[in-house]
Structure 1
Amino acid sequence: MLWRLIAGLAVLGAALGSVTAQADAVDDYVAAQMQRQRITGLALAVMRDGQIVRAQGFGLANIEHHVPVHPDTLFKTGALGMQFTAVATMLLVEDGKIDLDASVARYLPNAPRKWRPITIRQLLWHTSGLPATPNGEFRADYTDDELQAIIGKEELNFAAGTRWRFSWADYIVLGFVIRKVTGEYYGDVLRRRVFAPLHMATARPIDEIVIVPNRASGYEWREGTLRNAEWVSPTANSTADGSLYLSVLDYAAWDAGVFARKVLKPESWAQIAAPAQLASGGTYPYGPGWFQENVGGHAAWRHAGAWQGFKTFAIRYRDPALTVVVLANSDNADPAAIARQVAALTEPGLAQAKVQPLPNADAAQARALLTAIQAGAVDKTAFAYLAALDLRETLAEYQGILQPLGPLQDVALFQTLKLGDDDAAIYRARYQGGTVELRISTAPNGKIGNLELSLIDAWDAPVYP
């Protein structure tokens, strides 16, 4: 009964919650994906040259009260919100309050000695070496100093500036820096200097206590059962790694500001656009708050987020100047796949062809690693530049993905590429219960320097960086 109701609301999305009232291929595609992925609710917006061409909602913002999603429904951003923290940091650089190449210890005097080589720029770029997560208790409240001390006790993954690894802790620490130099919470800086000037009317920091109109609930699937997202403390919902509420209308206003290069000076936008620089002289395709890609000749900035039953994704293509944002309140949603397909339906030149494995390519390493991950028997000496905490948490997460899928049926290599100083390989594996993509980055010393695993829709789906 529930899924019939959600499917019905998805089909009616264009009529009930849309700037564009005419049903079309996008509506049909999104409605089908919501049913296939079992997504409770979703909002999307499409902007061309900084102007909205589509904004609509599908499904339910709140299942218990049967509240539909509309374009003004608010979703938690997760790490999609890092791009705003990056802009707040650059505003303070313009104010002369932050030096990008200064040590974080200049602003956080009680930082551990091992943080002294880490610069603000490296935090923005994820080249600091800090652990991926703060490793605190999500149900406990901490002061900034207490949470900083927890992060500071963890081992670094690598020497500052030598490698790239995505880290929520990087942006949490940036939030500490912003408060130190301004005396304000980072979310209040954003309200005053970004959200208000760009007319992001309902964008705001997360606050579970106050009354927030049009706030969606987040939902998680656990053992085949849909449930409300687990409760976390106010601290966990206030860090600068993306503790924000946004609607797709708010994001459209933000996109218009980015398109017109508002809020920041041109030289600051140039810093946002610059890829991460490594000590070796190489680069990694990540600018402050944005991954960078070029697929089929189409350059784009993109970022995703996941937090408390919400999944988010936005992609900004340079030519054509098209942006798609998808916000969902289901932890099993794949907003990136939906956003890319909506972009292709809107601008057919962005469509990417289906792919096949590389001929005669050896996939033995991937097969052995997947088997070991599923069994919980990984040889940790095969890895480098991953501290014990990060490696343990990564392998546990990936084991949780693989175990329900059943027997491994096939593994193949689909693409090789250079990422920073590493040689990266993208594999896909078919299991009885689904298909996954495995990305292995091999460091110059021959060991695994980074590992990413995710469920994907199809064996032959386009490969993206």
Structure 2
Amino acid sequence: MNAAHDEEPGLTLLVHRPGEQPTLLHTGLASLEHRLPIGPDTTFNVGSVAKQITAHLILLAAHDDLLRLDQKTADLLPRLKISDVTVADLVTHRSGIRDAESLLSLAGFRDLDHYTADDLRTLAYRQDQRAVPEGRFLYSNTNYLLLAEILETVHHTTLSNLARHRVFGPLGMHSTHFKADPRQVIPGAASAYQATHHGWQHTEVPVTLPGPGTLWTTAGDLDRWLTHLHQRWQNPHQLLWQETVDYEPSDHEPYLYGPGLYADARPDHTAVFHYGHEQGFSAATHLEASGLRVIALSNNARLSADRVTAAILRDLYQQPTLAQKEALVRAAARERASSTGIQDQPTPDHVGQHIELGTFACDQAPGSLRLTRRADALHLWRRGTCDQLTPTGSGIYAGNGYTLTVPSSTDQVDRFTLDLDRAPGLTYIRQ
């Protein structure tokens, strides 16, 4: 590896072929301030990789007759207004419940604003109908926030305690924790960073959402977890737990989604996997029916764990005799070489140059939005932040992660529809 890269945040990579010992590679620093290198005991925030742990605990609760997968969620969480959603719908992202964190972003929360899981669940309980038709996939972290609340309800303890006693302790995952409070100290925790034109900056914010994310762990502990999953994979001709939870088409064709896991059902590479991106960290876990395990963890916003995992797998498929260490070194070097972009936020145009179209509110989302027009472009304002929207069709404008549709001319707008990637179908009306 380039010596200069040892002065930057970096990666932990692991590959574990069946019948071989796992191979680890660590590059870069866990803490730039303290010049602390990443090592085997460094813990990372693995984001949505946590969902497979939460789903596993739900399956255990069903096995212990504490709940049923076909049970109506409202039986367990009476505040939920969408009465026909089942526990299995939450597990497989088929509830149609909008992602509450996406909804909260419409209020214009700044990077260091603090909100809690309870804040997001409150937004979930405001929703009174599915955002997409029954049975359709809509990836939503809110599903797993509600699953975490179900687990705490039926077990009468916190998710953190439950996971420690039922999973992490028995499997020897002693460096793994669900972080339940932003002030909680995680031993060995890496800091995450983003490169800007002015140098490196921290990316963590004071938010913890155990269930859909906020899981801190090491590559070694994740290898113990994937080993446990492979031992439970009774039939290599089926997907993991397919006899309990149906895998269905997801948002990433041709992959399916089941109990907190995406799945590749191709016979030659049958696998389950998940990626995570949270607060500048990224993570990936990949387990094949053969027993092959690949793990990537990053604390550098420019280094993507899912891309480096794909590169490792590609080399292992193309060169079956390639040494595990060589596969890791090659993939890490390629990811370093391709990640040169600087991520500064653009400065919006001055509001005085814009024509006001109104302030709008939606009963399914917090806060209000302002819409302005400047020349032929629309601008959406949230608590001082501004997105310039790009026209893509008649009355349709695209933003970052959403589309906005106006019913007629932009000379006067009385209402519009906002479709966020994870929270579609929001109707905003002029106040």
Q: Above 0.5 in TM-score? A: yes
1:48-447 matched pairs, under 5 angstroms: 48-49=17-18, 52-112=21-81, 115-134=82-101, 135-136=103-104, 139-142=113-116, 144=118, 146-154=119-127, 156-161=130-135, 163-206=136-179, 207-222=181-196, 225-232=199-206, 236-261=207-232, 269-271=241-243, 274-276=246-248, 285-294=256-265, 297-319=268-290, 321-348=291-318, 375-379=389-393, 394-395=401-402
Distance 1:308 1:143 in 2: 16
Show structure 1 runs of 5+ residues with no match. 10-38, 352-372, 384-390, 397-448, 453-465
Q: CA deviation at 1:332?
A: 2.5
Distance in 2 (alpha carbons) for counterparts of 1:61 and 1:315: 23
SS in structure 1 opposite 2:96?
Answer: coil
Taking the aligned partners of 1:267 and 1:92, their CA distance within structure 2 comes to: 21
CA contact (8 A) 1:312 1:327 kept: yes
Distance in 1 (CA, whole Å) between partners of 2:23 and 2:303 is: 20
Could you tell me whether the CA contact under 8 Å between 1:77 and 1:305 is conserved in 2? yes
Distance 2:199 2:217 in 1: 27
Larger radius of gyration: 2
Matched, 1:7 2:5: yes
Aligned match for 1:46, one of 6, 15, 25: 15
Task: Provide the C-alpha distance between the structure 1 equivalents of 2:302 and 2:159, rounded to a whole number of angstroms.
Answer: 29
- How far apart are residue 220 of structure 1 and its match? 2.5
Partners of 1:380 and 1:189 in 2: how far apart? 52
Q: Which residue of 2 aligns with 1:366?
A: none
Structure 1 position 276, deviation (Å): 2.7
Measured after TM superposition, the shift of residue 277 of structure 1 is 7.7
Question: How many residue pairs are counted as aligned between the two chains?
Answer: 327
Shift of 1:208: 4.1
Task: Give the drift of 1:395.
Answer: 2.4
**CA–CA separation in structure 2 for the residues paired with 1:270 and 1:294:** 11
Tell me: CA distance 1:104–1:127, structure 2 relative to 1, closer, same or farther (3 Å).
Answer: same
User: In structure 2, what residue type is equivalent to 1:40?
Assistant: P
Q: Do the aligned partners of residues 98 and 310 (structure 1) sit closer, same or farther apart at CA in structure 2, a change above 3 Å counting?
A: same
By relative contact order (CA 8 Å, sep 6+), the higher-ranking structure is: 2
The question of whether the paired residues in 2 share the 8 Å contact of 1:82 and 1:171 is answered with yes
Cα contact 1:272–1:287 (8 A) shared by 2: no
Q: Is the 8 A contact 2:264 2:272 kept in 1?
A: yes
Deviation at residue 256 of structure 1 after TM alignment: 1.3
CA distance in 1, matches of 2:95, 2:151: 17
Change (3 A) 1:298 1:382: farther
> Structure 2-normalised TM-score?
0.67
> 1:289 Cα deviation (Å)?
0.9
Measured in 2, the distance between the counterparts of 1:393 and 1:169 equals 20
Secondary structure of 1:269 counterpart: coil
Residues in 1 aligned to 2:66 and 2:169: alpha-carbon distance in whole angstroms: 21
CA contact (8 A) 2:272 2:288 kept: yes
Return structure 1 stretches of 4+ with deviation > 6 angstroms: 380-383, 449-452
Secondary structure of 1:43's counterpart equals strand
Please say if residues 123 and 170 of structure 1, whose CA atoms lie closer than 8 Å, have aligned partners that are also in contact. yes
Distance change in 2, residues 1:212/1:239 (3 Å): closer
CA positional deviation for 1:297:
3.0
Higher helix fraction (1 or 2): 1
8 Å contact 1:119–1:128 — kept in the other structure?
yes
Contact 1:6 1:40 in 2 (8 A): no
Deviations 1:127-179 (A, max 9, x none): 111113433467334473x5322122246321332x11211111111111111
Alpha carbons 2:402, 2:421 under 8 Å: kept: no
Please report how far the alpha carbon of residue 223 of structure 1 lies from its aligned counterpart in structure 2 after TM superposition: 6.0
Structure 1 residue 195, shift from structure 2 partner: 0.6
| In 1, Cα distance between equivalents of 2:289 and 2:141 | 27
> Unpaired segments of 5 or more residues in structure 2?
323-386, 404-418, 423-431
| 1:52-82 Cα shifts (integer Å, max 9, x gaps) | 4212311111111111001221000100110
Give the letter for the 1:324 counterpart.
V
Partner of 2:407: none
8 Å Cα contact 2:88-2:245 kept in structure 1: no
Structure 1 counterpart SS, 2:270: strand
| Residue range with higher mean Cα deviation, 303-312 or 49-58 | 49-58
SS in 2 for 1:111: coil
The AA in structure 1 aligned to 2:293 is T
Cα pair distance change 1:76/1:52, threshold 3 Å: farther
Inter-partner Cα distance in structure 1 for 2:311 and 2:267: 15
Contact 1:51 1:256 in 2 (8 A): no
What is the CA–CA distance in structure 2 between the aligned matches of 1:261 and 1:380, rounded to whole Å?
Answer: 52
CA distance in 2 between counterparts of 1:301 and 1:323 reads: 10
CA RMSD in angstroms, aligned pairs only = 3.5
Counterpart-to-counterpart distance in 2, 1:165 and 1:450: 11
